Amino acid sequence: MFVSERIRRARPLLGTFVEIETDGGPALLEQAFAAIGRVERLMSFHRPDSDVARINTHGATGPVQVNAGTFEVLKKARLLWERSAGIFDVTREGRFEAVRLTGAREVHLAAAVTLDLGGIAKGWAVDQAITVLAGSGAGFAVVNAGGDLRVWGDTAIEVALREPDSGRPGPAFQLAGAALATTARYQPWSGRRPETGVRSRGRVAGRTALRSVSVRAPHCWQADALTKIAWLQGESAASLLREFGAEALWLRADGSTAQTGGWA
Amino acid sequence: MNWRHAAPLVVCAACPAYGAQYLTVEQAQREAFPGATAFESADVVLSKVQAEEISRQSDQKIRAGRRYRIWRARRGSELLGWVVADAVIGKHLLIDYTVALSPSGKVRGVEILEYRENYGGEIRREAWRAQFTGKGTASPLQLDADIRNITGATMSCRHVTEGVKKVVALIDVCF
């Protein structure tokens, strides 16, 4: 098999840095970044012409037609909302029941709610880039959008978990043919709070004792969303994780760990 | 799938910088303008008037006296566009990047060249290297290159985005 040179590039996208590495060549790399750019244009909360902004501005007065990709993400958000009994909710008000998805890719808001796809769109963008790279005959690809990442191909990669307090790369694990996302508690070194994208329905016992949770799943949209649920629910998220073919690794403040998936 | 827990990479209290290099400036120039026959230096040191106008256009505070690294990309005598190399500092994070612009000053692309994270403290080479017996005799910087994939990072690219706005204004005002 012809082995090509790997190229690795990073660009500012989705509000963070998106890194793509592949042996598929520069033209393919460009197409993969373009796929990320498309998700940003459609689902950015801030861009006034994105589908999300149009729904938030006009969705309560009538149906808003959106791009197929946006509609797909909304359907996945609804699935997660249903399966997590409302814990995962992409409306800021915690009222996803007001979001109506009708035929012909239309979105209608039955009440004045604000959609924010930040808890799932980044992961989905990673999946779109991987689809471009995987469909071309590339042997290897890694797409990493600010810590939400997915690896494709025969090679395993080593991923380091950033320590929440210091920001340094910490413990590492292997990843092959899967996606990974992590939620950690307040990281003063970066000056930013962790994204949640979930409405907490009240304090969950043991949550404040968590330093981070990482979720491995087949697709990055799953890892992205499930990591927020696993952060809030702790180990009681185990059955939901299994439903999506995902596993989680919780690091607690005292240095101990918990895992799902059948390993000690 | 196995969560095989690899050896912890961070044990010592003082750790060297971690970073990634993607491109040199020269590579970024060539990738932005593959048809260019020359990259002509066109560095600018901002006058007070220029700095004020750029500040106004980009809605940021830009100081006079700062030198900016700028190149005209040419194919023969034809101007293909511009490349500007700049750097921004985030908390603990130094980012070198380039912006490629069309002849009329529109952004064609942004590439991150390199970023370096510094945590302060002394670099204790021996203690750091001792963790990596079997990984070869690479220096700490090369060893850090082994950490290619990080999760749990929620770094905002806002400074780079603002830098790009500044670069657009820079080309508009100075050329």
**DSSP characters over B3-39:** --BPPPS--SSS---EEEE---HHHHHHHH-TT-SEE
| Rounded-to-integer distance, Cα B42 and Cα B22, Å | 24
Cβ burial, residue B82 (10 Å; 0-12/13-18/19+)? buried
Residues of chain A with pLDDT under 50: 1, 187-197, 199-207, 262-264
Residues of B with CB under 8 A from a CB of A: 1-10, 15, 18, 20, 22-23, 31, 90-92, 97, 109-112, 115, 117, 119, 146-158, 160-161, 164
pLDDT for the residue numbered B165: 96
A103-107, A168-172, B21-25, B113-117: lowest mean pLDDT where? A168-172
- Reported as a single tens digit per residue, the pLDDT across A47-86 is 999 999 999 999 999 999 999 999 999 999 999 999 999 9
pLDDT for the residue numbered B34: 96
Contact check, Cβ <8 Å, A160/B149: yes
Contacts A–B by Cβ distance under 8 A: 149
**Segment B90-119 mean pLDDT:** 88
Interface test with B, best of A6, A11, A126 (most B CBs within 10 A): A11
Q: How far is A11 from chain B (nearest CA, A)?
A: 5
Look at residue B42 and give its three-state secondary structure: coil
pLDDT for the residue numbered B115: 85
Distance of CA B23 to the CA centre of its chain: 9
Q: How far is A42 from chain B (nearest CA, A)?
A: 18
Which tops the pLDDT comparison, B15 or B93? B93
| Cα R_g (chain B), whole angstroms | 20
The residue of chain A with its CA nearest to that of B147 is A160
With beta carbons under 8 A apart, name residues in chain B contacting A194. Answer: 154
Contact check, Cβ <8 Å, B157/A171: no
With beta carbons under 8 A apart, name residues in chain A contacting B112. Answer: 9-12, 17
pLDDT for the residue numbered B132: 41
Look at residue A31 and give its three-state secondary structure: helix
Closest CA to B83 of B30, B29, B36: B29
Which tops the pLDDT comparison, A181 or B5? A181
Handedness of CA A42, A47, A48, A49 (dihedral sign): negative
pLDDT for the residue numbered B122: 34
Which tops the pLDDT comparison, A112 or B5? A112
Handedness of CA B133, B134, B138, B140 (dihedral sign): negative
Count the Cβ atoms, other than its own, within 10 Å of residue A163.
19
Which tops the pLDDT comparison, A24 or B19? A24
Q: ipTM of the assembly? A: 0.85
CA dihedral A10, A13, A16, A18 (to 10 degrees): -30
Buried b (16+ CB within 10 A) or exposed e, A213-227: bbbbbebbbbbbbbb
pLDDT for the residue numbered B61: 94
Contact check, Cβ <8 Å, A261/B1: yes
**Residue A24 near residue A8 (C-beta atoms within 8 A):** no
A176-185, B119-128, B136-145: lowest mean pLDDT where? B136-145
**Residue A64 near residue A54 (C-beta atoms within 8 A):** yes
Q: How far is A50 from chain B (nearest CA, A)?
A: 18
With beta carbons under 8 A apart, name residues in chain A contacting B165. Answer: none
Is residue B170 pLDDT above 90, yes or no?
A: yes
